[in-house]
Structure 1
């Protein structure tokens, strides 16, 4: 504001000084003289086009033609810093002769203001004089009854942050009754089609114009959002201290005013109501501190301290927040349609907007006694939420849930699309309330542990579920499966043991699984029950919401687990209406295969016995006829050869002995 005031008053004084010459010299010479004087004061060229016309009734004044002030020589924008179709000034004649400047009216018609900040932080509204490089002090004591602009526009191109702020249809009014007294400023405009309004009142104007701290009250409205500040502040540098109350009911409109995209909050996060209050401090470096903050988001209340720092690429928010019980109920539930849960026809396909993650980086420590997510209900929770370049990591330090606990981390990545993933460990979790909340399935009653590693990619829940990759392990203790009596099916070979009143009691259940392209695959499920055991294998379509699973239960007939009846059970079809079928064909096939195997084994045993008998008979003949005994590791053929060899050697030896004796 300081530069606007100095430029406006500088123009007023220069034009007033030229007023006395307009009757004696041509207007173009007056314009040239005023421009030269302005340039010597500010280092910027002032161009007054057209005729400079004086007025003597009803007030002493002057009206100019088109006016422009040159931009900084380093600015990339081609437009001048300031242009207006005309300026009009009225002054108090008597006060002027008394040595004071009492401006009755100062107006600019269709002014255009083009502000720019370079990547290095240079501002084109900071002036330097041609002489010693400093801007001289403000003009002599003055008052301004009313300064007005009509049909104006403002554009701020912040090349340091990459943001562009634009205001159109700007109407403004400034009143300074005494230069050493209070002042008021009011303005309205349009930002992206949304109405913006500003009301500012302050203490000593001369002190404020020099950038120093004075009492301030400010109200800013953008669309349905409103910010109110009551305290002290200054503009060179921007510092403030006081009470802040913000109603952020229209974040998109506020984001448009700030030159950044802000999406409307989700339910529970401020969709219906979002307010922030606390003690605000701006330290002059661009950092904002909010102490004793109270945040109300729909029905949720959080308190704590927040720090917002400029950051290199985007602002960074640091906060420590404690919440009352939190309730966040997303629209549409986990399933599509009114039924939701297991009965739904599919997952929601509405696009998930996580654009707000790119607005700033953050590190937030959050604690809450409970969190209701609509599909999940959590107990006491402590977590650290870190956001960096549109990627949010929820580091779970403590989370009570369904009689047990949850640890690990959960990631929401909004870089170039949306992906979610994490590593979670659930210990001592009660399955019935968990599955009932998560999927509307209340038939598995047990307590156990689950380890899960997962990753899903897509801009909707449906796309994420259809792309899930990962692995995990499940281990349950004693419990029961309601709606299915596996033992009854085995005893009667009847699939009618499904529905209300049916159940399977078990001592334990465990298995591991993998996930690929939205399909969960398990090959090692083990179930142990008082009168049966079961193994399971198959696939669960997480994206398609389908079942293709095979359970092989065996009803035990002996204490050692042998014997009994085994009938495979097939579970197929959609989650909403699964089909159960006893695989009797596989029983017959497996029986035939078992019988064929047994016959082959019996034939093999008979052949082996016949071979053993023949071998024994041959060994006995070798012993009786040749006197050869078969060694334990020796074949009968080798023994026969050895016996024949020994007999020939013996005959040869005897013949040689006879020859030597001369017989």
Structure 2
């Protein structure tokens, strides 16, 4: 027993003497030239160790290295790629004999990393290794491997690694990209990892502050982790992380992520919450989901995602809103492809469901198919302010003054920002059973749309509209200074009165409408559309009526006045003119919509006309010629005579007037009859004095003013 004790004491003494000899005769600073020489040889860069290298004895034998710098090549903004103030590392010696690497506490203080990409694409990470040395080393390893594989007696020993702890104190980093003008800075980075070895649970914590251009952020958190024996997989549990972010008026006041556990190939329960604000909008978002990473580390699966958003602010159509999103999705990491197998969105009772995909690329590619039972689009648009336009006081602009249209009104000149269309590819389909837009009720809406290379296209649009159908297509190209557009559609057998009443609160026209539209232009502000829109609109309305005027009643009154009779109209007379067909082609351009082939046919009347309406100030200047084509109704005397009626005013309050001068122009017979009726009236009024020269001269002046 004493012999064994003596042997142990001898071994201890031998170790103490060895350590003493190591400290006495081996100065670690003498390795500085060797280290710098080898680093220079391998990387071509300078390693500068300004501080001392000293021995450590507790808790295990190791080294401490003082201030050290690893240089950048010339031409970069900072001199060093990596630098640190102090690094400590210790290793237990005896376990090395058993292929076990026991590392004491690793501590790195004041470390800083600087990575820069120059405008020409060169980075300070380029050329860090000697390719020839790597090639030679790889060839040697292959030779050794081949030899060992052929030696059946060779046994592979796997090293076991254990770390007493890792501590990163007050570290920082900066990543600068001169090509994208992006600068990311990490400051006050602290990281700790408790005693660590494979297949053993340990705890990690982190704390970091940073800045990305104008964005500032903080993040901190902790988790328990367990590294697999082969170092290829890791398990997590009790993950908790918090973050804040601020960028001008945009702020994330608090964001939190929680994870119960993570194991490759198994579903994990995730919770998250974030609240903050952007200009004119505050948000409070929270949700849950299940997440799984496939065993090949390539596919992320998301099941049962539920996100609830409580929103408030002036940017919303409502003062407050509740938005709920449910979805299932997968993400292929290699292909950068996200597939959403199903998504359901509920925004204040408006529900939309569907599926889609997202391919991450320089220009992202999106595909989708969405459907909804009912959408009231008007409820999502800003409320219209009371109109203060000049429409109600609009002055009709004569045809000769059309060039002055642009100075009459001042519609909005603000262009919508559609620049995002240049940075996305999209294709999809939308189906809506009931849609309300501009107060019009539309059913069975189907839209096929796409966006590519800055051109947004509605390839196909179809819907049921007030007993009829509408089909069409449209495109907007934003690749020029002012976006251009082209619209084509066909309206078939639509009941026009309820449509006009819903859209414009206008009850002037009824009937079945068939309308073909082909319009184009440039500029999408209200002013640009009114001034620059061009094309044609072909209108055919059958079995209808024009409300607000009874033309036959108007003609009977005119006839009675010519004969000196009382007004024959009745207060109960309905102010409308029925017709069997109304056709016209509107030609749009230079702020004017004009027609020269307006025709209206009815059992009583035949009407044709021409004129224009001003798209800027909404004035009307239209002359229609009316002929009586039916007998009876007290109008036989003027049957077959073209009677001109002028339509003026504006879109909201049109005015109808009988043009007496044009009525008698080129109608000698009617003029003769009217003169006889006037002379007969004068004789009744003045008797024998009607033949007096003064009275006759006054009557002649009256007749000239009437017929000329």
Whether the 8 Å CA contact 1:31–1:48 is kept in 2: the answer is no
Of 374, 399, 404 in structure 2, the residue corresponding to residue 325 of structure 1 is 374
2:230 & 2:390 partners in 1: Cα distance? 61
Check 1:35–1:585 CA distance in 2 against 1; reply closer, same or farther (3 A cut). Answer: farther
Structure 2 unaligned residues grouped into runs of 5+: 1-22, 142-157, 235-262, 278-282, 394-408, 562-566, 673-708
1:508 aligns with 2:581: yes
Secondary structure of the residue aligned to 1:352 is coil
**Partner in structure 2 of residue 24 of structure 1:** 27
- Corresponding residue to 1:412 among 468, 476, 484: 476
Per-residue deviation at 1:413? 2.2
**353-362 or 292-301: which moved more?**
292-301
Aligned to 1:479: 544
Report Cα offsets for 1:419-439 as digits up to 9, x if no partner: 332210111212123223433
Aligned match of 1:386 = 450
The answer to whether the 8 Å contact 1:358/1:390 transfers is yes
Partner residue, 1:448: 513
TM-score normalised by the chain length of structure 1? 0.66
Mapping 1:126-525, distance limit 5 Å: 130=131, 131-132=133-134, 140-142=161-163, 146-147=167-168, 152-155=173-176, 166-168=183-185, 172=189, 174=191, 176-177=193-194, 178=196, 180=198, 189-191=210-212, 193-194=214-215, 204-205=226-227, 214=264, 230-233=290-293, 239-243=299-303, 277-296=327-346, 300-311=350-361, 313-329=362-378, 331=381, 337-338=386-387, 347-374=411-438, 376-416=440-480, 417-493=482-558, 502-525=575-598
Q: Secondary structure at the match of 1:369?
A: strand
Q: What CA deviation, in whole Å up to 9, does each residue of 1:58-98 have, x standing for no partner? A: 99985754755758x9xxx9457984664555668889988
Q: Which has the higher strand share?
A: 2
SS state at 1:415 partner:
coil
Where do 5+ consecutive residues of structure 1 fail to align? 1-19, 252-263, 597-663
Tell me if structure 2 keeps the 8 A contact 1:524–1:535.
Answer: yes
* Partner deviation per Cα, 1:445-472 (whole Å, 9 max, x = no partner): 2222111011131141331232111112
Quote the Cα distance in structure 2 between the aligned partners of 1:539 and 1:96. 102
Q: Structure 1 stretch 524-533 or stretch 99-108: which is displaced more?
A: 99-108
CA shift digits 1:146-205 (9 cap, x unpaired):
546666444457x7xxx6654446565555544545766665544454455667969655
Look up the match of 1:552.
625
Contact between 2:67 and 2:86, CA under 8 Å: does it hold in 1? no
Shift, 1:317, TM fit: 0.8
* CA distance 1:593–1:399, shift in 2 (3 Å): same
Contact kept, 8 Å, 1:486 with 1:497, in 2: the verdict is no
Given that 1:341 and 1:438 are in contact with CA atoms closer than 8 Å, whether structure 2 keeps it comes out as no
Displacement of 1:337 in angstroms is 4.0
Greater shift in the superposed pair: 278-287 or 226-235:
226-235
SS in 2 for 1:51: coil
Secondary structure at the aligned position of 1:284 is classed as coil
- Aligned equivalents of 1:425, 1:414: Cα separation in 2: 25
Report matched runs for 1:110-125 at 5 Å: 111-114=113-116
- The answer to whether residue 540 in structure 2 is matched with residue 540 in structure 1 is no
Is contact 1:419-1:464 (8 Å) kept?
Answer: no
Deviation at 1:348, TM superposition (A): 4.3
Matched length: 551
Looking at structure 2, the residues matched to 464 and 207 of structure 1 have their Cα atoms a distance apart, in angstroms, of 69
Conservation of the 8 A alpha-carbon contact between 1:31 and 1:49: no
Determine helix, strand or coil for the equivalent of 2:631.
coil
1:411 and 1:340 mapped to 2: Cα distance? 30
SS class of match (2:363): coil
Contact 1:396 1:408 in 2 (8 A): yes
- Cα 1:382–1:542 change in 2 (3 A) is same
For the 8 Å contact 2:421–2:451, the answer to whether it is kept is: yes
